[in-house]
């Protein structure tokens, strides 16, 4: 499995999490070999946090785990696509359904298109994911 | 527009191209500021080719341009999501509909799930995108 993957110079590959039902792109995070191996074994999305430089079991703190239905690899072997079931319906650390809530308008401004479903302070005991 | 974006150390940001109708994730490529600016101005996807280190007007050679309906930015400002109409129905340089045609099976092997729609040799006059 791992030998088909082109990890970048930091040993990471971006992983897109897409909602298995709606097809909505929820978020993009990064995986190293360990994170991907654990994801495959547990069928729960496990990423590598670049800011914290460690394994990040998505939903470990918030309960908003991602059940992984399917994993795909692109032609160059440098992007993963995960089909997931987002438990709790909130993928974004801002408390939104997904991370792509800013949309470019005709004036070249980013407009926020979706609102916070749940206050992050309520989601996380202490600190953010 | 550009000031909200966190380009990486190479001045690039990954851009996911998603089919506007089906929601299928077609491909991921990279943009620099110039590519994004031209994409916004022309409403055609323009990327930055990392291998060729230059602006890559998707479909310039093959005719398989991507009409851009919508551009979104994620919470961290480091991933773009484009909603596109893929002219010719082929996004991948291998001649497939999309780039994510390898799926991980239960034995940990990548299985090819979709076939080539059109021979790349027929798509490109000389060389690949």
Q: Report pLDDT for B127.
A: 47
Q: What residues of B are in the A interface, CB distance below 8 Å?
A: 1, 4, 14, 16, 18, 22-25, 27-28, 40, 70-76, 79, 81, 92-94, 96, 99-104, 108-110
pTM for the predicted model, two decimal places: 0.94
The complex's ipTM works out to: 0.94
Please write the tens of the pLDDT for every residue from B64-73. Answer: 999 999 999 9
| Contact at CB, B100 and A22, closer than 8 angstroms | no
Q: Report pLDDT for B125.
A: 64
How buried is residue A77: exposed, middle or buried, by Cβ count under 10 Å (0-12/13-18/19+)?
middle
| Contact at CB, B108 and A25, closer than 8 angstroms | no
Contact by Cβ (8 Å): A29, A91: no
Q: Report pLDDT for A129.
A: 45
Searching chain A, which residue's CA lies closest to the CA of residue B103?
A72
| Contact at CB, B16 and A1, closer than 8 angstroms | no
Q: Report pLDDT for B129.
A: 45
Nearest Cα neighbor of A106 from B16, B64, B70, B59 is B70
Q: Report pLDDT for B113.
A: 94
Architecture of the CATH domain B2-123: Roll (3.10)
Contact by Cβ (8 Å): A13, A74: no
Q: Which residues of chain A have pLDDT under 70?
A: 125-129
Q: Per-residue pLDDT for chain B (129 aa), expressed as one digit of tens each?
A: 999 999 999 999 999 999 999 999 999 999 999 999 999 999 999 999 999 999 999 999 889 999 999 999 999 999 999 999 999 999 999 999 999 999 999 999 999 998 899 988 887 765 444
Chain-centroid distance, C-alpha A129: 11
CATH top-level class of A2-93: alpha beta
């Amino acid at each position: 499995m791992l030998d088909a993957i082109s990890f970048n110079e930091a040993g990471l590959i971006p992983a897109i999490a897409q909602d298995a039902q709606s097809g909505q792109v929820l978020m993009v995070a990064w995986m190293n070999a360990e994170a991907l191996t654990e994801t495959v074994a547990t069928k729960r999305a496990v990423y590598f946090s670049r800011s914290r430089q460690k394994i990040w079991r998505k939903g470990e703190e918030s309960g908003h785990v991602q059940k992984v239905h399917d994993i795909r690899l692109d032609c160059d072997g440098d992007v993963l696509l995960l089909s997931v079931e987002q438990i709790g319906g909130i993928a974004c650390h801002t408390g939104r359904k997904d991370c792509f809530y800013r949309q470019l308008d005709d004036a070249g401004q980013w407009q926020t298109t979706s609102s916070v479903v749940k206050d992050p302070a309520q989601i996380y005991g202490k600190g953010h994911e």
